[in-house]
Structure 1
């Protein structure tokens, strides 16, 4: 549907419950923070609802609570996101608060200082998490010359440099209607949604400032990076270029990944590393389709003394999938899970809106939800074999180890985790 003001949205109308979910994204907004002010988009996302218009932070949050409404914003690598959940009877007030947050944010200094302090604390806390350290080191090595390699939340050096004027400039310059994608679900008619869209988003700039991110390819093939940490276990993270969401091989890659390491206790990595040898509590693989790059990753942890052995087995399974593909039984089991589990994600009004938004962002077509099972069921063993050979090359893996691993010779050591 398209609003009277020309704003397009997808809607799944459902009046069984008096709840409305609205999800939106500004594609690419905030993907490139100004040099030296990394974390600007995330700080803006965290302060947009800390007071707007005539309402200071306490009054704004109190008003949301009074009308049983949740409103949140989030900055990610590929866009800036908003989420609203409210009762049908309170929709008008909820939509007005969302409008105020995006068009009249206050960015009061006390709110900025408080939120910035919380973000800095979260960064300090995460530095003690070896899984976080591994991810940061991996993305830094994979994307050394691209914003994907940075920390969305910013750094200890950059965050103190961001002021209210920077946040105001972000809100005015980045939240343009030309980048807007919207989806809704719940107890609202197309006509009422159209009015709401114009009310919430009509006052935003027609066009956003800044150029979109460029496509990139992950770097670091064949490297093994060690981040020393005085721990009894080693965290392992390895990966290489994967498939983007619009790739014709996406569904075959999804089936392949389920069998390789995405299927929990039934996956090959879990069977070989945990069940047969007891080297880890859990080893997994997963696809990461970013807008401008893609990865296929595997991760797990093991005791330091067994790190070399565990890593070797993971790489062997990488190669076995590329060389041999999968069996008919594995193919059938993967299809059963991937088709059968998907409906379980539609467990709330907001979840439905989020899925609809992602389908729209990925340009999968308005009939995607009806066709998805057929796409998966059409995958053959030959498809998976071809995709596995295309994607999986153990010699080209970028590997990051955090801990004190034995039996591994790193090509580089990074003392600060990235």
Structure 2
């Protein structure tokens, strides 16, 4: 069976169709559900994602880790079959069925060979109708979650990253760890999870992302039992995460041989902003390109203060921010922190050079086609564009914009985002 799954994985990797996804709608119970669909005849597979928007750990509120724990419970099979028997049925048919969550979304993903699609849809339908809501199941996943969190107590990267989130996003739904804390996980009960899943897994919040060896009408028939199993629910509105970064530092003293330095700031741009392509280029040059980026060249190459140093802009529907990180010797922590501040201030003040723009342009325009080789990549990209309100042809438009980007315009854009200088630092050191 493991060989069979490897075969399925290899088939997915070896595809390479140049077809693209289309946006359609299925109407159920008076609700028009968006469907991002791509027919892929070269391989006999089904790839399906049920994406419930505005439903990730943004909805945890004062129960940090609730979304994460809820997705884990859905990975424990149905109440009738239980975890082991349900997993065995998936294994016997080489079906992959998994729930997960991000900050803004809660996702149930299904993939399998075409000839077992009826079985996979049946198992998915049963899971939606009757998750394994038992105290034993909850105790099991809470024990595993708490164990994982305890093991992370000495993961200083994890600690520094969460320390930055707590300071940078203080007072918002982003301030807590997505996995929760030991204390918050212990307090979550079965009623909390039932309520979260009932409020999340429904038609009003659903976007369907699907592709494979089916025409659209075939797929509509196939997915019908799943849609009939879903409740109507209430449509959620996306909460905008509003925050303004400040120049501040939070240091945590631990017995560590290195200093872990995380930093971040506000970045005033939206997911649908017409200048987001400039943010992509600027971010690449500043810290996203590895060797050759400003942060890497100044911190590692010229001064040898760290093995690596990165920084990038994260553009989401609910929020956007700049963040970065590096590790250095304890005795070099202050020097490295000061250097990060200086590099970013210089970047905002003076902008980039023509050579930096040329290198970024060559890489970004050359690597983009490689991100569209696999069906799942194309579907994920199509979903992201749809979710952010962008045209499906936006990647091609963006490539043209990057190809024609003038140095003067890019530097004007960089200099207009002085908020990036308001760096919040989170440092774990000895």
TM-score w.r.t. length of structure 1:
0.90
Asked if residue 171 in structure 1 is aligned to residue 197 in structure 2, the reply is yes
Distance 2:227 2:402 in 1: 37
- 1:347 Cα offset (Å): 4.5
Is 1:336 matched with 2:369? no
Q: Deviations over 1:267-297 (max 9, x none)?
A: 1111111111111100011112233221111
Q: Residue in 1 aligned with 2:260? A: 235
Question: How do 1:10-159 residues align onto structure 2 when only pairs under 5 Å count?
Answer: 10-30=36-56, 31-33=58-60, 35=62, 37-52=63-78, 54-159=80-185
Deviation at 1:265, TM superposition (A): 0.7
Structure 1 gap ranges (5+):
405-418
The alpha carbon displacement at 1:209 in A equals 6.8
Give SS of 2:33's match. coil
Unaligned runs of 5+ in 2: 1-23
Secondary structure at the residue paired with 1:157?
helix
Change (3 A) 1:7 1:198: farther
User: Separation in 1 of the partners of 2:393 and 2:265?
Assistant: 32
Structure 2 Cα separation of the partners of residues 326 and 261 of structure 1: 12
Q: How many residues align?
A: 402
CA contact (8 A) 2:286 2:312 kept: no
Shift of 1:137: 0.9
Paired with 2:223 and 2:208, the residues of 1 have a C-alpha distance of 9
Report if aligned partners of 1:185, 1:352 keep a CA contact under 8 Å in 2: no
Could you tell me which of 352, 377, 402 is aligned with 2:428? 402
User: CA 1:99/1:371 → structure 2, altered by over 3 Å: closer, same or farther?
Assistant: farther
**Which secondary structure does the structure 1 equivalent of 2:425 belong to?**
strand
Helix, strand or coil for the counterpart of 1:254? helix
Are 1:270 and 2:296 an aligned pair? yes
Distance 1:248 1:343 in 2: 22
When normalised by structure 2's length, the TM-score is 0.88
Q: How has the CA–CA distance of structure 1 residues 343 and 83 changed in structure 2, closer, same or farther, with 3 Å as cutoff?
A: farther
Matched, 1:355 2:378: no
Residue-by-residue CA offset, 1:148-193 (whole Å, 9 max, x unaligned): 1112222222222222232222222222222212222222211122
Q: Which residue of 1 aligns with 2:25?
A: 2
Q: Residues 303-318 of structure 1 correspond to what in structure 2 (within 5 A)? A: 303-318=329-344
Task: Summarize the alignment of residues 278-293 of structure 1 with structure 2, pairs less than 5 Å apart.
Answer: 278-293=304-319
CA distance in 1, matches of 2:329, 2:79: 54
**1:302 shift after superposition:** 0.7
Q: CA deviation at 1:387?
A: 2.6
